[in-house]
């Protein structure tokens, strides 16, 4: 089979004279179809397991409401226990070096997504979700779509750069299949995973995303997760209220992410086996669901309800608090799943609460609360992911309304910039790492030599005799000694070769001093020199270090800069130069 595929690829390239770019587009089509089937299979697996556990597939909130309260508590607990056992098996079946995360495979890996680890983790996620766990299903959907792309790419022996691109195409197909948003799916991968938009990668990713969307539409019963109402026209000063909503989301999203991170740390400190920790997370969800069954599932049902039906602010606030606790318990316990959908839930409820408040104050000048809920979804997502463009496009594709764009763009951009001021607050580690690298490059770009100065150590006065200078040369493996006058002003250098030449020729050196061996014209650096300027000096000088003086008119010796320190800073500024 493998040899057949290789021959087919070669003959197709020869027959149709396809370039590498054209070939990648064809493989993107295949990956788009495969990603859609992988997503549909996972969705069907949830439905079948839900029928087995609760009698029928559909709304998890309705399922929880139908069950007696003891079963409502026991089911998430048992589901967590089984999910934890699957994770234990996944860890045993995988080497320590392997990492199942598709983002790591694309950004810093070779594109290879471990097969068995991904399958066992997806099975674990399946049990968590089907038993009512408060976590998103999109994480495993995207993981399986990326896994299918990785398997296909390795099957036909793609090299690492093309395999990484193919896995990125699979991830885009997974996001698209989960949310019926092909444009946002493509931008999710390019903005969050890849970090840049280049046509060499963006083209295949868009193709894969669109093909996945077309394929998903052919499955019976498939429908978008959110049924968006018609967005009202927003005019006048009401636009400013959406700016305030963006500000609110930008402030609160980092706290939501910190809560999830704190929950993970607390659960990790518990002296319990992994299955028991996941069971404890399920127990918390089950206990909360005795009073609020809305905490079951990823929140689709609640969001669709508040978009079409009136809610009181007390009911919304209660559901929001309990849902955040349930999500923190599920994700914190170590359950596999996404927090993308719970983030949309929190944004929608926050937006609706904000809309209820402003509508109560200005009933004749503001839109209905559902409009603020729709924009709140995008703003909170932009703040949590640091990907405002993706968030804007996702809500736009869900609504297909031009009227939503102005308030949505304002809220998302404001939320993004507010959230960026908070350290370590992004939903994805790859985004955090990229942000840290960007800040480091900005810092290094502004680096001056004063930040790299080290003590010179090998400094002698003009009056130093040969014996003293020889002692310094023996103590330090250097080629030059720096000579200063009585005011510590740099005068030049003494070269090791000049002294050794005199000693080897047995010349009289008793009365000679550093002034006799002085080389006054020697290259120097100043504290305000940039990395680039200093690098040019080192390129013209073949030594390991250069002296740093205060300024040419006042050559006070401040110390030295080593070539290794300079190159290390330069390569961190320009990783591609390595």
Which value, to the nearest 10 degrees, does the dihedral of the CA atoms of residues 181, 185, 187, 192 take? 140
Residue 59 falls inside a structural domain: yes
Contact 56, 232 (CB under 8 A): no
Which value, to the nearest 10 degrees, does the dihedral of the CA atoms of residues 277, 283, 285, 289 take? 180
What is the model's pTM?
A: 0.74
Residue 231 falls inside a structural domain: no
DSSP, collapsed to helix, strand or coil, labels residue 62 as helix
Least confident of 82-96, 134-148, 281-295: 82-96
Residue 116 falls inside a structural domain: yes
Least confident of 96-110, 165-179, 331-345: 96-110
Are 321 and 360 within one domain? yes
Provide the residue count of the chain.
578
Are 438 and 468 within one domain? no
The yes-or-no verdict on residue 578 having pLDDT over 60 is no
Are 339 and 305 within one domain? yes
- Gap between the Cα atoms of 490 and 488, Å rounded: 6
Are 312 and 392 within one domain? yes
Are 504 and 407 within one domain? no
pLDDT, average across residues 456-483: 87
What does the angle CA 256 – CA 258 – CA 260 come to, to the nearest 5 degrees?
A: 75
Are 328 and 465 within one domain? no
Kindly give the pairing relationship between strand 545-551 and strand 490-495. unpaired
Contact 425, 254 (CB under 8 A): yes
Structural domain ending residue among the three candidates 396, 425, 445: 445
Q: Is 336 left (phi over 0), alpha (psi -120 to 50) or beta?
A: beta
What does the angle CA 328 – CA 332 – CA 338 come to, to the nearest 5 degrees?
A: 75
The yes-or-no verdict on residue 409 having pLDDT over 90 is yes
**Digit-coded pLDDT (tens) for 356-404:** 999 888 888 888 899 999 999 999 999 998 888 989 998 988 888 888 8
Structural domain ending residue among the three candidates 184, 216, 248: 216
DSSP H or E run through 559: strand 554-562
The yes-or-no verdict on residue 428 having pLDDT over 90 is no
Residue 233 falls inside a structural domain: no
Split at pLDDT 50, 70, 90, the class of 537 is: confident
Residue 229 falls inside a structural domain: no
Contact 384, 253 (CB under 8 A): yes
E-strand spans in 440-489? 459-461, 480-484
Residue 224 falls inside a structural domain: no
pLDDT, average across residues 449-459: 84
DSSP, collapsed to helix, strand or coil, labels residue 79 as helix
Are 488 and 423 within one domain? no
Split at pLDDT 50, 70, 90, the class of 97 is: very low
Residue 256 falls inside a structural domain: yes
pLDDT, average across residues 319-339: 90
Are 83 and 173 within one domain? yes
Contact 88, 274 (CB under 8 A): yes
- Those residues whose C-beta lies under 8 Å from the C-beta of residue 166, and which sit 6 or more positions away, are 24, 27, 28, 31, 111, 149, 150, 152, 153, 158, 204
- Gap between the Cα atoms of 404 and 400, Å rounded: 9
Are 346 and 210 within one domain? no
- Gap between the Cα atoms of 458 and 300, Å rounded: 70
* CB atoms inside a 10 Å sphere around CB 301: 18
pLDDT, average across residues 226-231: 84
- Those residues whose C-beta lies under 8 Å from the C-beta of residue 389, and which sit 6 or more positions away, are 187, 191
Average pLDDT over the chain reads 83
Nearest to 454 by CA among 545, 560, 350, 368: 560
Q: What is the DSSP letter of 137?
A: S
- Gap between the Cα atoms of 482 and 421, Å rounded: 46
What does the angle CA 81 – CA 82 – CA 85 come to, to the nearest 5 degrees?
A: 90
Residue 489 falls inside a structural domain: yes
Domain around 21: 2-216
Domain count across the chain: 3
Structural domain ending residue among the three candidates 445, 468, 487: 445
- Which residues are registered as beta bridge partners of 338? 136
pLDDT, average across residues 483-488: 88
Percent of the chain with pLDDT over 90: 23
Which value, to the nearest 10 degrees, does the dihedral of the CA atoms of residues 322, 327, 332, 337 take? 170
How much is the pLDDT for 2? 43
Chain centroid to CA 280: how far?
28
Are 173 and 267 within one domain? no
Q: Identify how many contiguous H helices and E strands the chain contains and give both numbers.
A: 24, 5
Are 33 and 127 within one domain? yes
- CATH number at 136 reads 1.10.3080.10
Which value, to the nearest 10 degrees, does the dihedral of the CA atoms of residues 529, 530, 536, 541 take? 50
E-strand spans in 103-219? none
- CATH number at 559 reads 3.10.580.10
Nearest to 172 by CA among 136, 197, 141: 141
Are 22 and 143 within one domain? yes
How much is the pLDDT for 500? 85
53-57, 223-227, 257-261, 568-572, range with greatest mean pLDDT: 257-261
Residue 77 main-chain phi, psi, to 5 deg? -65, -50
């Amino acid at each position: 089979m493998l040899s057949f595929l290789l021959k087919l690829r070669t003959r197709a390239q020869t027959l149709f004279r396809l370039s590498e770019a054209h070939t990648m587009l064809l493989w993107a089509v295949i990956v788009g179809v495969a990603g859609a089937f992988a997503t549909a299979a996972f969705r069907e697996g949830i439905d079948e397991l839900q029928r087995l556990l609760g009698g029928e597939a559909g709304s998890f909130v309705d399922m929880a409401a139908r069950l007696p309260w003891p079963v409502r508590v026991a089911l998430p607990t048992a589901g967590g226990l089984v999910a934890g056992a699957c994770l234990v098996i996944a860890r045993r079946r995988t080497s320590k070096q392997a990492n199942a995360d598709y983002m790591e495979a694309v950004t810093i890996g070779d594109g290879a997504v471990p097969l068995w680890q991904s399958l066992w983790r997806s099975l674990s996620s399946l049990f968590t979700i089907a038993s009512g766990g408060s976590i998103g299903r999109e994480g495993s959907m995207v993981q399986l779509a990326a896994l299918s792309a990785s398997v296909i790419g390795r099957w036909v022996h793609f090299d690492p750069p093309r395999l990484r691109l193919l896995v990125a195409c699979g991830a885009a197909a997974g996001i698209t299949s989960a949310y019926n948003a092909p444009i946002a799916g493509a931008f999710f991968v390019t903005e969050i995973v890849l970090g840049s938009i280049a046509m060499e990668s963006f083209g295949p990713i868009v193709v894969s995303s669109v093909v996945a969307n077309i394929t998903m539409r052919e499955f019976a019963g498939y429908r978008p997760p959110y049924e968006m109402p018609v967005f009202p026209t927003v005019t006048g000063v009401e636009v400013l209220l959406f700016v305030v909503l963006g500000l609110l989301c930008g402030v609160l999203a980092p706290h939501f992410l910190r809560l999830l991170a704190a929950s993970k740390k607390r659960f990790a400190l518990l002296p319990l086996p992994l299955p028991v920790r996941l069971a404890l997370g399920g127990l918390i969800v089950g206990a909360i669901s005795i009073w609020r069954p809305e905490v079951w599932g990823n929140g689709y049902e609640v969001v669709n309800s508040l978009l079409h039906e009136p809610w009181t602010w007390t009911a919304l606030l209660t559901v929001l608090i309990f849902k955040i606790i349930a999500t923190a318990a599920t994700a914190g316990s170590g359950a596999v799943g996404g927090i993308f959908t719970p983030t949309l839930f929190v944004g929608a409820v926050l937006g609706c609460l904000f809309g209820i408040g402003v509508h109560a104050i200005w009933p004749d000048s503001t839109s209905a609360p559902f409009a603020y809920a729709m924009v709140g979804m995008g703003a909170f997502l932009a703040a949590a992911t640091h990907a405002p463009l993706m968030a804007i496009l996702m809500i736009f594709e869900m609504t297909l309304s031009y009227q939503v764009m102005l308030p949505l763009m304002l809220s998302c951009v404001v939320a993004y910039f507010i959230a960026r001021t908070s350290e370590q607050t992004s939903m994805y580690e790859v985004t955090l790492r990229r942000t840290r690298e960007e800040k480091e490059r900005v810092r290094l770009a502004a680096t001056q030599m004063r930040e790299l100065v080290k003590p010179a150590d090998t400094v002698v006065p003009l009056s130093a005799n040969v014996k003293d200078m020889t002692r310094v040369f023996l103590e330090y493996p250097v080629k030059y000694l720096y000579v200063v006058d009585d005011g510590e002003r740099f005068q030049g250098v003494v070269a090791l070769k000049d002294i050794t030449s005199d000693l080897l020729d047995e010349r009289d050196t008793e009365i000679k001093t550093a002034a006799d061996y002085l080389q006054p014209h020697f290259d120097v650096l100043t504290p305000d020199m940039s990395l680039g300027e200093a690098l040019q000096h080192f390129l013209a000088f073949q030594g390991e270090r250069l002296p740093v003086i205060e300024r040419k008119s006042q050559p006070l010796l401040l110390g030295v800069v080593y070539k290794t320190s300079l190159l290390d800073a330069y390569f961190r500024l320009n990783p591609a130069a390595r």
